[in-house]
Structure 1
Amino acid sequence: MGHLVKSHPQGFRASYLIHTNGNKYWQQLYAYPDIGISFSYQDYLNPTLGKSLCLMPFMQLYMHRGRVSNLLADFGIGVAYHTNPYHSKNNDRNVALGSHFSFSLNASLKYQLSISNVFSTGLLVHFEHYSNGGYKKPNSGANLLQGGFFINHKLKPYVKATHRQWEKVPLQEKEIYFTILPSFSLKELGIGSSIFPSYNLGVHINKPVSHISTLNFGVDAYHDIAIKKRISRKKPEEHIDHKSLAITGGHELMINKISFVTQVGYYIYRPYKDLYREFFQRYSLRIYVNPRLAVSGGLKVYLGKAEHVEWGLMFKL
């Protein structure tokens, strides 16, 4: 990666935000956050890497809300486009970005100071990560740690916000419930090789502990065709099973009809061990269509090394 780090990238981020006022109960639980969407542009000042453009929905939390100043944190997940990804003939030195499109994970910490009824400014520290989730190789990914300043302009003059105050709502769903998550993924095990699917099934026990937090524990089974093809090429005489089974546990954070799931897993059955470690992590985004059905997308990684992105439907029993 050393040949790619030749300069300090430069860029900008433009965002549109809407303030929440507590018209829904979950907004009070998060201290009335802002919901927004942003567009960012990064110029790596390195022709090998090119430029990156990213579109990202995000949520901005108030860590401290003052009369003229605020301490803010935001996070989001988006989609990025890279102008000059890896190409075996034209750009074989770009081992960080293997495809035009990738996912983006973003987080920022900001100090904001009001200077008028419509303008505010401040300083920020911003982290951004790009990865295609193992779909195309190479996929070392790009991590950007940025510092800068920002300027906000309100479309309406500032007035003191009126936030609805809710009575504490008792937690209605306290009982343990089961979920089933069938999913699939696509991945390329080596540069220039074919892309193969993996079929996955997760069965979990879930226990709500608050309006926004649920703990989960269960098992995940993998029927990985890419691993099967690799075994047939590398060790055809050994007849090693390509399937695997893992125990997983983690936490689901609810934000209205969207949730963020973080999990850790450990393989209890995995005959083929040449590629990945025993422990893995999964970071998922779920969008609930109704209380018993959600669309899920999850990134499975090994301490930063992505294996694949899992797409599926979660059914609540």
Structure 2
Amino acid sequence: MKGVKIAWAVIAIISWCHSANGASLHSHASTDSTAIEPAQHSIWRMPSLALAAHYGYLIPHRTEIQGLVKTHTRAFEINVEWLTTGVKKWHALYKRPYIGIDAWLCDPGNRELIGQQYGLIPYVRFPLRYGKRFGHDLKTGAGVGYTTKTWDLENNTKALFIGSPFNAAINLQYGMQAFVSDAISLSLGLRITHYSNGSFKTPNMGTNIVTLFAGCKWIAPTNRRDCAPPEINFLSVLPKRWNLQIGIGFGMKEISVPHQPRFPVYLLNLTESYRIGEKVSIGAGLDAFYTSSLRYQLELLDRDSRPNDALRLGLSGVFTMHFGKTDFIFATGGYFYDRTHLDGSVYSRVGLHYHFTPQLVGGFRLKTHFAKADHPEIMLGWCF
């Protein structure tokens, strides 16, 4: 889990740097709504279709599961995707990326304990550099995954990877493309696929699968990169540099004790961020968590428990990538107030925010302690 989060942040920065090369803009704007007379490109046009075969390994990232990986991982991937139309500002900022849906079919390497994994994962694929014959890109997505065999107290106690059939599925992929013709391309690359339920149901070690892949793609005529984007003029309105956001949130988590209820988590955070251009912001946050399970865990350890033992306060650094009204959030920080010290002093959060209005924002995030998921959380915030 930790490696996936770090890779997300690194690739976000790489994508930002590379996407600046060759981006075609007439001028700058703060939101998509500032576009003047956008061309009407239908989103219901024919998609491209890609197929890929994968071969790799399920990483035994915790000592408890090191003996459970039996064979190499084999997987198959089907993608349906569209080239973005260019009528939104973020399309041009990121060099007209592709959007699509990834169907994932996987044999992780232990059919007896894990069975098979399936997933439907919406994604965005960012071009790094494309020529007439060759190109390379970065693809990332998040969706829903299904695992056919999970931990069970009576029948499958060794399967510590996954405690629930349905999980969040996240992929991160680097690919190289060779264009055989205008309609056909071949691909090679590396992919990381992560399944986890965020400790909504334990045990939840999660699965981290690394694979090499080879594939081919049929490119629909309307998805070819030599198709000219619509001519759009944008108003020269720079984004607001400094932004203050206050948010409240709620989550649920289990602890690794059978037959225990889920415990609620309440949170409050204050974030001040600085906008670096139109694509990226950096900032700092003050976070407060009230994790009700902490008091119960102290009781299991025969330690005294008081109401404020469930309270944690922390400071975090925040990195944000902007895609129109949608933001990708990555934050890492440390607790300066934590009476329990049960999970270490460092925490991280990764997620998506959506701006319903310039002030109102909502989102979904996952909080972790290093390689261990702590809990999923939903949030609602107000921007000043």
TM-score, with normalisation over the residues of structure 1? 0.93
Query: What secondary structure sits across from 1:290 in the alignment?
Result: coil
Q: Which residue of 1 aligns with 2:51?
A: none
Query: What secondary structure sits across from 1:247 in the alignment?
Result: strand
8 Å CA contact retained: 2:69, 2:109: no
| Deviation per residue, 1:193-230 (Å, 9 max, x gap) | 22111111111112222111122212111111111222
Q: Which residue of 2 aligns with 1:265?
A: 333
8 Å CA contact retained: 2:108, 2:209: no
Aligned: 1:187 with 2:253: yes
| Deviation per residue, 1:125-147 (Å, 9 max, x gap) | 11111111111111111111101
8 Å CA contact retained: 2:282, 2:319: yes
In 2 relative to 1, CA 165–280 (structure 1 residues): closer, same or farther, beyond 3 Å? farther
In 2 relative to 1, CA 59–12 (structure 1 residues): closer, same or farther, beyond 3 Å? same
Query: What secondary structure sits across from 1:173 in the alignment?
Result: coil
Aligned: 1:200 with 2:276: no
Residue 4 (structure 1) aligned to one of 44, 48, 68: 68
Aligned: 1:308 with 2:375: yes
Q: Which moved more, 1:162-171 or 1:253-262?
A: 162-171
More strand by share: 1
The CA deviation at 1:94 is 0.6
Q: Which residue of 1 aligns with 2:347?
A: 280
Aligned pairs for 1:83-232 (under 5 A) are 83-156=148-221, 160-164=226-230, 170=236, 172-192=238-258, 193-232=260-299
Query: What secondary structure sits across from 2:67 in the alignment?
Result: helix
The CA deviation at 1:74 is 0.5
The CA deviation at 1:116 is 2.6
| CA distance in structure 1 between the aligned counterparts of 2:103 and 2:376, rounded to whole angstroms | 23
| CA distance in structure 2 between the aligned counterparts of 1:219 and 1:4, rounded to whole angstroms | 40
Would you say how many aligned residue pairs link Structure 1 and Structure 2?
A: 316
> Which letter maps to 2:338?
R
Q: Which moved more, 1:275-284 or 1:173-182?
A: 173-182
RMSD: 1.9
Residue 34 (structure 1) aligned to one of 98, 105, 110: 98
The CA deviation at 1:178 is 1.6
In 2 relative to 1, CA 159–245 (structure 1 residues): closer, same or farther, beyond 3 Å? closer
| CA distance in structure 2 between the aligned counterparts of 1:63 and 1:244, rounded to whole angstroms | 41
Aligned: 1:296 with 2:339: no
The CA deviation at 1:115 is 1.9
| CA distance in structure 1 between the aligned counterparts of 2:68 and 2:355, rounded to whole angstroms | 40
Identical counterparts, % of pairs: 25
Unaligned runs of 5+ in 2: 1-64
Aligned: 1:255 with 2:323: yes
The CA deviation at 1:48 is 0.7
| CA distance in structure 1 between the aligned counterparts of 2:152 and 2:69, rounded to whole angstroms | 19
8 Å CA contact retained: 1:179, 1:316: yes
| Deviation per residue, 1:147-181 (Å, 9 max, x gap) | 12111112337582213466676453334232111
Query: What secondary structure sits across from 2:287 in the alignment?
Result: strand
| CA distance in structure 2 between the aligned counterparts of 1:229 and 1:303, rounded to whole angstroms | 22
8 Å CA contact retained: 2:239, 2:277: no
8 Å CA contact retained: 1:171, 1:211: no
Aligned: 1:242 with 2:310: yes
8 Å CA contact retained: 1:124, 1:150: no
| CA distance in structure 2 between the aligned counterparts of 1:252 and 1:168, rounded to whole angstroms | 23
In 2 relative to 1, CA 209–166 (structure 1 residues): closer, same or farther, beyond 3 Å? farther
The CA deviation at 1:114 is 1.7
TM-score, with normalisation over the residues of structure 2? 0.78
In 2 relative to 1, CA 219–152 (structure 1 residues): closer, same or farther, beyond 3 Å? same
Unaligned runs of 5+ in 1: none
| Deviation per residue, 1:266-301 (Å, 9 max, x gap) | 11111111x211111111111222222222111111
The CA deviation at 1:233 is 4.1
